[in-house]
A and B are shown apart, each in its own frame.
Chain A
Amino acid sequence: MSDKLLEVRNLTRVFKSGIYLGASFRAVDNVSFSLEKGKVLIVVGESGCGKSTLAKMILGFLKPTSGEILYKGKNILKMNGKEEKAFRKEVQPVFQDPFETFNPFHKISYYFLKTCLKFGIARSKDEAFKIIDDVLKKVGMSLEEVNEKYPHEFSGGQLQRLSIARALITTPTLLVADEPVTMVDASARIGILTLFMELNKGYDMSIIYITHDLSTGYYLASQLSGEMIVMYRGDIVEKGPAEEVMLDPLHPYTKMLLESVPEPNPGNRWEGRAEFPSLELKEYRAVGCKFAKRCPQAFSKCYEEKPELRRVMKDRFVRCWQVKNEMKMNKEVVSHGG
């Protein structure tokens, strides 16, 4: 138990939509997983799969409808003042849009100083600037480059580095990064990903990397060997060691996603004609498998009964009636995912 840094148990968040009176959908539906210290978790899924809602709940920005989030064994919603302060200090977010992270009217150093002083990390300004220079070096920049400058003087990639540097001031144990490279240009992406790799290897920092971009997810996974969660309409549909999931996907949805990744190789182009999914709110409320309507392999049972997330191989979990159970010995249904 003690090595579990974060544990998410049966987490559910229901949103009400106003068009139909009382209609609601589960943005995050009974999600469970755990993360050990120093490990990496990659969450992939398309827009609307609930990955950002999940991130907000983990960061304590959004209250779950049911279920709980334990950080170092403590429910994050039932922490006392001191514990909460420690939690805020140790769990830091990195957001998608670095241009929105920083207020254009403040100098970058203002944020760094504020973070330093708020968490009582530095007692004086001089001490603070030393710490700031330190974290900036970690992200490959320096105080000279940053001091006295405003956000608009930096590119997206640089700003994202700065927002990561700001998160590092409190020496966090867990970074929750929601689409951190989506707004960053291609040539700067690898730089950000390399930075995550260095932080994980060098400082034993745990990272939750949330993305819709499977190739950056794969890249991080292949370099750091983390776990991967694939989400669809609020459900975890597949879970396992990230590299295995990407190279040998089991769930039809994971397969479909991987087939849709535009591979940067003109020698291996898509074939066939354009096909489009039909997306409807109904999928959130469907009785059977939420993916059934888009699934090329769906059969009658898929429309009637929702499959559980079950273990099919040593570390592989899938929510699908079609996937055969490779573990002949035990047919256990795993709802806690671990």
Chain B
Amino acid sequence: MVEIRNVKAYYKIGADIFVRAVDGVSISFDEGKITGIAGESGCGKSTLLKVCTGWIKPPLTVLEGKVVYNFNDEEVDILNLDEEKLQRYRWRLFAIVPQAAMNSLNPVRRIKKIFEETLNQSGKKKLSEKEKKMIEKVITDVGLPKEVLNMYPPQLSGGMKQRVIIALAIIARPKVIFCDEPTTGLDLVTQKGILLLLRELKDRYGITIILISHDMGVHAQVTDNLAIMYAGKLIEYASTHDIFKDPLHPYTKSLINSLPMIGDKMQKERLPGAPPPLFRPPKGCRFHPRCKYATEICEKKEPPLKEIKPGHYVACHRIGEE
């Protein structure tokens, strides 16, 4: 559905200094599935989302790579589109639920008005009956009462606002939605609701969902596939089940093993050190300074992403060598 081919997206912060936030990432997102992207803050997961949606503004620059959407049997490389064309695909082909979006709803606009403005981007002035029906439909889709349309954002709770944002994202029935930390800042009970809602939308409309979250519990609960990023690199990609049951990369392993679980009394291991700065990443494998298995080759050569088992990709020199 969406294919990312060897994307390098850097932030230019000085004459010759680049923050290499996404550095040679290739990945494809399966249609009708929820793909999770996990990683610590500053691993490049939000930048990847920006690239996927053509949301590229200085200092972010894409040096290399393609983002290809397969749309009605045609391939669209969205990094090669001008703003006008991109605008046409936005909402219809893909939509975004940005991080902390619920706080960006204009507080002095009725919810109804916000929906009208979203639909009116195409230039039309008056809403047709059909469009009004559409708005009511998406509002019920996300489990909100219709009265919400006549309310203002400050009258809604955080969870309700986030559902309004999701309703806005799906109003033009996009094929793909990107959700960046959609439950951060929400209560546990509300978080569960939002995540189950995303799962329902996928089942009901076959929407492809890309879910970015730092919370491995969130990924375990709702994603089908899971990509693990570390310091601008994709280091492991497999079904969520495989990532949790059989993590291969040493970083993924220690990440999974460090998760506290209720009912599990075992003392967890901690991973020493911190991720490297992205403007000066280490040579070779970016994880090698923290990796207890690191050898000479890890310091010199960057490990490529290899398919070890069908559908399970890992970038580590140790894996698949024996």
Using an 8 Å CB-CB cutoff, how does the interface string of B268-298 with A read, 1 for contact, 0 for none? 1111101100000000000000000000000
Q: Does A185 reach chain B (CB closer than 8 Å)?
A: yes
Residues of chain A with a CB closer than 8 A to B193's CB: 274-277
Q: Is the CB of A191 within 8 A of B270?
A: yes
Task: Using C-beta atoms within 8 Å of the partner chain, give the interface range for chain B.
Answer: 35 or more
Complex CA distance for A188 and B268, rounded to whole angstroms: 11
Using an 8 Å CB-CB cutoff, how does the interface string of A138-151 with B read, 1 for contact, 0 for none? 00100000000000
Output the residue of A46, A261, A264, A265 with the most chain B CB within 10 A: A264
Q: Is the CB of B262 within 8 A of A215?
A: yes
Q: Is the CB of A190 within 8 A of B269?
A: yes
Q: Is the CB of A190 within 8 A of B41?
A: no
Which chain A residues in 172-213 approach chain B with CB under 8 Å? 185-191, 193-194, 212
Which chain B residues in 198-248 approach chain A with CB under 8 Å? 200, 214-222, 240-241, 244-245
Complex CA distance for A131 and B40, rounded to whole angstroms: 33
With known contacts A189-B258, A262-B191, A222–B218 Cβ distance under 8 A: no
Q: Is the CB of A47 within 8 A of B187?
A: yes
Which chain A residues in 263-281 approach chain B with CB under 8 Å? 263-267, 269-270, 272-279
Number of interface residues of A (CB under 8 A): 49
Complex CA distance for A259 and B262, rounded to whole angstroms: 11
Complex CA distance for A77 and B192, rounded to whole angstroms: 41
Q: Is the CB of B261 within 8 A of A263?
A: yes
Residues of chain B with a CB closer than 8 A to A273's CB: 196, 200
Q: How far does the Cβ of B170 sit from chain A's closest Cβ, in whole Å?
A: 14
Q: Is the CB of B188 within 8 A of A190?
A: no
Q: How far does the Cβ of B252 sit from chain A's closest Cβ, in whole Å?
A: 10
With known contacts A186-B40, A187-B40, A215-B217, A265–B261 Cβ distance under 8 A: yes
Complex CA distance for A266 and B215, rounded to whole angstroms: 13
Q: Is the CB of A219 within 8 A of B196?
A: no
Q: Is the CB of B217 within 8 A of A190?
A: no
Q: How far does the Cβ of B264 sit from chain A's closest Cβ, in whole Å?
A: 8
With known contacts A223-B267, A267-B241, A262–B258 Cβ distance under 8 A: no
With known contacts A46-B189, A157-B274, A263–B262 Cβ distance under 8 A: yes
Q: Does B157 reach chain A (CB closer than 8 Å)?
A: yes
Complex CA distance for A215 and B40, rounded to whole angstroms: 18
Q: Is the CB of B260 within 8 A of A218?
A: yes
Q: Does A155 reach chain B (CB closer than 8 Å)?
A: yes
Q: Is the CB of B189 within 8 A of A264?
A: no
Q: Is the CB of A264 within 8 A of B270?
A: no
Nearest chain-A residue to B223 (Cβ)?
A266
Complex CA distance for A216 and B258, rounded to whole angstroms: 11
Residues of chain B with a CB closer than 8 A to A247's CB: 262-263
Q: Is the CB of A46 within 8 A of B262?
A: no
Complex CA distance for A264 and B157, rounded to whole angstroms: 27
With known contacts A218-B260, A256-B189, A264-B261, A190–B220 Cβ distance under 8 A: no
Q: Does A246 reach chain B (CB closer than 8 Å)?
A: yes
Q: How far does the Cβ of B96 sit from chain A's closest Cβ, in whole Å?
A: 21
Complex CA distance for A216 and B215, rounded to whole angstroms: 13
Complex CA distance for A188 and B214, rounded to whole angstroms: 12
Which chain A residues in 151-179 approach chain B with CB under 8 Å? 154-158
From A189, A214, A257, A264, B220 is in contact (CB under 8 Å) with A264
Q: Is the CB of A264 within 8 A of B256?
A: yes
Q: How far does the Cβ of A127 sit from chain B's closest Cβ, in whole Å?
A: 30
Complex CA distance for A270 and B163, rounded to whole angstroms: 19
Residues of chain B with a CB closer than 8 A to A46's CB: 187-189
From A157, A190, A279, B157 is in contact (CB under 8 Å) with A279
Q: Is the CB of A277 within 8 A of B271?
A: no
Residues of chain B with a CB closer than 8 A to A257's CB: 188-189
Complex CA distance for A279 and B240, rounded to whole angstroms: 33
6 residue pairs A–B, Cβ–Cβ below 8 Å: A186-B255, A216-B260, A247-B263, A262-B220, A270-B192, A274-B200
